[in-house]
């Protein structure tokens, strides 16, 4: 596609702060136009080897709780002896499955069909899994609730008037209801752990860089994670073993990661491991005392299973939320919104087809973006304009200090624990509700989850006892790349309590009874 040269008016706009006269611009015009020959040459070179989407059958999703975007059935006929043979998997709809539509919960992405499988998808198929569809997620994944998604809200399987948590909402619902064995989720502020807490599933956010993010729609490259959502810790460990390891295309990852048999580790006793109960994880302004009590009771289960338990104070836990806010807001405005998902200066694999499609979608349907995304766009753009990126730079420089505060506690304890979320699932707001209620419902639950997206520590949410008939979560946090220890403690808890509760029986239509 030829790059059209700017006319005189557009050239003047481009040079608005460069101090050029009209005569200067007239002289520059042919030189500017000449540079586009390389853009056109690069496109021609790229098209010679660019992949073509395979032909894969899919169907528009239909689900009583709004959890499916599209359904399909994809497997690798050659994968006959992998660890996931025959296991069904839902893929969060911000992750590319070649030849199958991806909407990322947003009108601005609707109509896009990826030409490549994400690395995570490739690994699941090679392990024998059957991909049965794309699960609905929040609009550009920027919400911790489940009502900002297009085409519709995702509803909680325990109470369909309530939200399922986000942004990996459909993934958690489909696992909780037993419609798939496993699901892939994404986590930038808690989006694997939040729906797991609200829906009663196991959600593991791996150590930053353990699982390649290649082929998933980014939000901000320093907080992007992919991870498993499952019904049991054993399944989370099994799935993590398939997903983990460098792919050579994602600079978020170290070049070498020692392989770990996460499933085998679960056979080791957790007795004697030290559990630090983080004081600052409880009693937030939004905290439900019932949730705090359920998590304390879960800690007692760990104590009864032979683990050592102590209280630990980490004042940085409350300050880390401010660091996340700046990175997630300015970073997402710069990269996910104005940078058309990828931005620049990235040394990993780009998705040029997605970038071009999304740019057009934002131009044509930007008014349909959720209020959470619009908030990020306005706030992030303003602080970037005022500070020129200085606030973002300060926040990134504070990350090592926040990370060290948790590391100091983890030198004393093997894992840290706290409530995953301060409360249980809230009701879905009315479409004509006020902005304050909308934003509070969408974002107020992330106080405990978001800090570990900036520090990169592994964190797993497992269900506690129900609170007034609804699920809540115990979050277990570990040292970097000690995901096996986190899962070992989670498994010990699951075994000690005799399994996790399941949502109400579904009717033959799939709706809650």
Which positions are annotated as active-site residues?
92, 167, 191
DSSP single-letter state for residue 335:
I
Where do the H-state alpha helices sit in 273-389?
289-304, 316-332, 352-365, 371-387
- Check if the beta carbon of residue 185 is closer than 8 Å to that of residue 94: no
334: closest CA among 387, 371, 370? 387
Could you say which DSSP state residue 4 is in?
Answer: P
What burial letters (b/e) apply to 257-277, b meaning 16+ CB within 10 Å? eeebebbebbeeebeebebbb
Tokens of 201: 């599933």
Tokens in use for 228? 């498993």
Kindly state the DSSP code that residue 336 receives in the 8-state scheme: I
DSSP state of 5: P
Tokens of 439: 């934003």
Tell me 366's DSSP state.
Answer: G
Integer Cα distance of 389 and 395 in angstroms = 10
Q: Alpha-carbon distance 415 to 23, whole Å?
A: 67
Q: What is the dihedral of CA 474, 314, 458, 399, to 10 degrees?
A: 140
Q: How far apart are CA 251 and CA 237, in angstroms?
A: 24
Spatial distance between the Cα atoms of 244 and 324, rounded to a whole number of angstroms: 25
Assess contact for 197 and 163: CB atoms under 8 A.
no
* Interior angle at CA 296, CA 290 and CA 302, nearest 5: 140
């Amino acid at each position: 596609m030829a790059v059209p040269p700017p006319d005189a008016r557009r050239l003047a706009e481009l040079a608005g702060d460069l101090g050029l006269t009209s005569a200067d611009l007239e002289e520059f015009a042919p030189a500017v136009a000449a540079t586009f020959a390389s853009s056109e040459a690069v496109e021609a070179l790229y098209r010679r080897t660019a992949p073509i989407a395979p032909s894969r059958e899919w169907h528009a999703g239909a689900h009583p709780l709004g959890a499916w975007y599209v359904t399909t059935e994809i497997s690798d006929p050659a994968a006959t002896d992998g660890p996931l043979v025959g296991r069904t998997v839902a893929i969060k709809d911000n992750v590319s499955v070649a030849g199958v539509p991806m909407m990322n919960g947003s009108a601005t992405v609707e109509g896009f069909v990826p030409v490549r499988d994400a690395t995570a998808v490739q690994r699941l198929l090679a392990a024998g899994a059957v991909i049965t569809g794309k699960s609905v997620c929040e609009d550009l994944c920027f919400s911790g609730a489940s009502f900002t998604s297009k085409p519709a809200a995702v509803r909680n399987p325990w109470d369909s008037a309530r939200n399922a948590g986000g942004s990996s909402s459909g993934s958690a619902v489909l696992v909780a209801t037993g419609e798939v064995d496993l699901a892939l989720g994404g986590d930038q502020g808690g989006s694997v752990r939040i729906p797991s807490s609200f829906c009663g599933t196991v959600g593991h956010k791996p150590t930053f860089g353990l699982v390649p993010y290649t082929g998933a729609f980014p939000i901000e490259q320093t907080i992007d994670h992919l991870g498993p959502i499952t019904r049991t810790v054993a399944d989370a460990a099994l799935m993590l073993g398939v997903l983990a390891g460098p792919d050579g295309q994602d600079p978020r990852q170290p070049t070498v990661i020692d392989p770990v048999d996460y499933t085998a580790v679960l056979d080791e006793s957790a007795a004697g491991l030290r559990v630090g109960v983080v004081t600052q994880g409880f009693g937030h302004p939004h905290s439900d005392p019932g949730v705090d009590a359920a998590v304390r009771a879960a800690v007692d289960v760990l104590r009864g299973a032979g683990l050592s338990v102590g209280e630990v104070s980490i004042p940085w836990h409350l300050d880390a939320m401010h660091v996340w806010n700046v990175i997630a807001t300015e970073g997402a405005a710069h990269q996910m919104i104005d940078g058309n998902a990828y931005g620049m200066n990235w040394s990993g694999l780009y998705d040029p087809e997605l970038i071009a499609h999304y740019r057009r979608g934002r131009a044509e349907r930007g008014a349909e973006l959720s209020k959470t995304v619009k908030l990020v766009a306005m706030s992030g753009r303003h602080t970037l304009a005022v500070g020129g990126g200085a606030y973002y730079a300060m926040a990134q420089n504070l990350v090592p200090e926040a990370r060290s505060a948790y590391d100091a506690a983890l030198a004393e304890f093997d894992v840290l624990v706290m409530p995953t979320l301060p409360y249980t699932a809230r009701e879905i707001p009315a479409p004509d509700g006020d902005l304050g209620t909308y934003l509070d419902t969408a974002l107020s639950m992330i106080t405990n989850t978001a800090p570990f997206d900036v520090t990169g520590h592994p964190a797993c949410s497992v269900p506690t006892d129900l609170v007034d008939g609804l699920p809540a979560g115990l979050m277990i946090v570990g040292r970097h790349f000690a995901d096996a220890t986190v899962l070992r403690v989670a498994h010990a808890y699951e075994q000690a309590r005799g399994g996790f509760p399941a949502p109400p029986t579904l009717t033959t239509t799939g709706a809650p009874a």
